[in-house]
Amino acid sequence: MAKRGTPATTIAKHLGIDPDSVRRYLRQPCPDQPHSQDQSWQTRGLCAQRDCGVDPDAFFPGYGANIDPRVKALCARCPVRYQCRESAIVHYEEFGVWGGTNASERRLLRRQRRAQQGVA
């Protein structure tokens, strides 16, 4: 969001955190995205199909809004849900439903993994 010119105050509001925290984070170096990662799984996702029966906007509810149960149901039967979820976790995707998980569920999964690896 910051790379697209979104103000720190707007980012903070979406994340429910203090704008100073966003500014501190943005001052840190940003690693380059890996270019060699295979993202072909995205075209196999049920959500990528025109006739999936769920409005694409439903995958990105507003901050604090309830997730449409049809989104979770579609993800539950999607053949690439694990790749989708893992990609969102690895890339710190903070918005939308990915692999059947919302941002807070993905943050919890990251914390659990760090705890299992003995990393704070």
Residue 78 assigned ligand-binding role: yes
pLDDT at 80 over 60: yes
% of the chain with per-residue pLDDT over 90? 46
What pLDDT, on the 0 to 100 scale, is given for residue 33? 57
CB environment 78-113: b (16+ within 10 A), e (fewer):
bebbebbbbbbbeeebbbebbbbbbbebbeeeeeee
User: What's this model's pTM, rounded to 2 decimal places?
Assistant: 0.65
Residue 52 assigned ligand-binding role: no
Average pLDDT of the chain? 85
Residue 30 assigned ligand-binding role: no
pLDDT digit string (tens) for 11-42?
888 788 888 988 888 887 766 555 556 788 89
SS3 content of the chain, % helix, strand, coil (to 5): 55, 0, 45
Phi then psi for residue 73, to 5 deg, are: -65, -40
